[in-house]
Amino acid sequence: MWRKVKAADFLKSNLNRVFVRNAAKTAFETETDAGDKRSEPVQRDASAPSIENPLKHKDYFNVHKLFTIKDLFDARVHYGHKEGTLNEHMLPYIFGSRLGVTIIDLNQTALRLREALNFIAHVSFRDGIILFINANRQTSHIVEKTAMECGQYSHCRKFNKMTFLNTTKYFGAITRLPDVCVFLSTHNNVFEEHAAISAAACVLIPTVAIVDSNSDPTIITYPIPGNDDTPCAIELYCKLFKEAIILGRKKREEMLQKYGTIPMDIES
Amino acid sequence: MAGSRLEKYGTIFSRVQGLLRTGAMKPQNKPLWFDVYECFPPHIEPKRLLPVPDAPLRSILYDEDVIRAKFYKDFGSPGLIDLLDRNKKCISKRFLEKYKELNGGLDFDEHVYKRTVDEINAGSGSVKELKVAAEREAEIKMQEESEEFDEK
């Protein structure tokens, strides 16, 4: 056991920009650890005060209050690309084409964004690792700053598929992968699909992504139609993701202080 | 991690569900997001092989577009139009307001168009003056901006 912990410390000190955090938590290697942690709510005393289960609420973290459609409009989220570059799978999210430029339907953006923010807040509530991914150099600094501010991780450099698919070899130790990947843009720097999207799907990591009119939304778990090129739009998304993460974490801390445990299953 | 890596077939959820059902993955080892996904599933299954949606791409056009186009064709554009400035109305907007006043609606009518031009010419300012004023505004704005830039 101590060797694993050592490896974790080693990685922590050497790869702090990468998302590796806690090797001891890896699923199949340390079954006992994970088992102990997850079975907490089941073991608790029946006479203890009943805890509200966030999974039973429609919007436990109140993420719908974080933004309005007017905010999206002001941040120029509705601008898509030229009609010719449109991905067919994006058609249901498109309001129409104004003189050859596609315009994204903000009603749908708001729905999907709220769905995604709720998911992120829940993962944050469960102490999950959230990894922000963005290959657009113009907006990378915003994304990296956001990740730092909310105590999560970012990957805004050249992405190697082995980062997800062959971790033990790539990092030299057992690695905990992120629990959600948030893509601020689904393209790499030559307008191909970002390699991390299919890699994340391979290793069972859900993805949240801003999909512009020229992106492929099919394999993304929670796609959010919206402009992914304008810095002010990226700033808005980053702000919202950050707030959702902080909301989730705050609720977690509150609950831990009050009850000493948090409900992890639907039934509890 | 145990699990099929065929991301093209099935979603991440269906693949984990399969592992749990067969016992290849123990319930205590299920991913952290699994319950959240179950309670709040995405509106469309995230699968690669989805059928192409049958939704039309309509063009966004308004009645006033015809009037606007004719206005700019006849009188030209003053040049710089600041789309971020919500307080100022551009010249075509001011023209359209007059047009709407006379016509009631914004459907194109050659006679009403001519009448609007005449009314504006007869009233406080002619269409050309409107244009000149707009040009001056744009020039002043540009100058201010370049001065600001120089100061920086």
pLDDT tens string for chain B (152 positions)? 556 788 888 899 999 999 999 999 999 999 999 999 999 999 999 998 889 999 899 999 998 999 999 988 888 777 778 888 888 888 888 889 889 988 888 888 889 999 888 888 887 667 777 777 777 777 888 888 888 878 77
Distance from CA of B4 to the nearest CA of A (A): 8
Task: Report yes or no: A146 and A182 within 8 Å, Cβ to Cβ.
Answer: no
Residue in chain B closest to A220 (alpha carbons) equals B46
Chain A CB contacts of B15 under 8 Å are 204
- Return d(Cα A31, Cα A55) in angstroms, integer: 25
Q: Which amino acid is at B87?
A: N
Chain B CB contacts of A28 under 8 Å are 1-2, 29
Check A202 against B53: CB less than 8 A apart: no
B86 touches chain A (CB under 8 A): no
User: What pLDDT, on a 0 to 100 scale, did the predictor assign at position B105?
Assistant: 84
* Strand-pair category, A153-155 with A222-225: unpaired
User: What pLDDT, on a 0 to 100 scale, did the predictor assign at position A17?
Assistant: 40
Q: Average the pLDDT over each of A34-48, A148-162, B75-89 and give the range with the smallest value.
A: A34-48
Q: Which of A28, A39, A119 sits opposite B40 (nearest CB)?
A: A119
B15 touches chain A (CB under 8 A): yes
Domain boundaries, chain B: 1-50, 64-151
User: What pLDDT, on a 0 to 100 scale, did the predictor assign at position A35?
Assistant: 40
Residues 6+ apart with CB under 8 A from B58: A96, A97
User: What pLDDT, on a 0 to 100 scale, did the predictor assign at position A89?
Assistant: 95
Confidence tier at A39 by pLDDT (50, 70, 90):
very low
Residue in chain B closest to A54 (alpha carbons) equals B36
Residue A200 has pLDDT above 90, yes or no: yes
Mean pLDDT for chain A overall: 85
Tell me if ipTM is over 0.85: no
Residues 6+ apart with CB under 8 A from A239: A146
Q: Which of B31, B42, B47 sits opposite A115 (nearest CB)?
A: B42
User: What is the share, in percent, of chain A residues with pLDDT greater than 90?
Assistant: 73
- Return d(Cα B37, Cα B17) in angstroms, integer: 11
Q: Which of B42, B43, B57 sits opposite A97 (nearest CB)?
A: B57
Check B59 against A98: CB less than 8 A apart: yes
Location of structure tokens 């359209």: B96
Instruction: Tell me the angle at which helices B127-151 and B110-122 cross, rounded to the nearest 10 degrees.
Output: 70
The CB density around residue B145, as the number of other CB atoms within 10 Å, is 12
Check A96 against B11: CB less than 8 A apart: no
Q: For chain A, list the domains and their CATH numbers.
A: 64-259 (3.40.50.10490)
Which SS3 state, helix, strand or coil, does residue A213 take?
Answer: coil
A91 touches chain B (CB under 8 A): yes
pTM over 0.90: no
Distance from CA of B84 to the nearest CA of A (A): 9
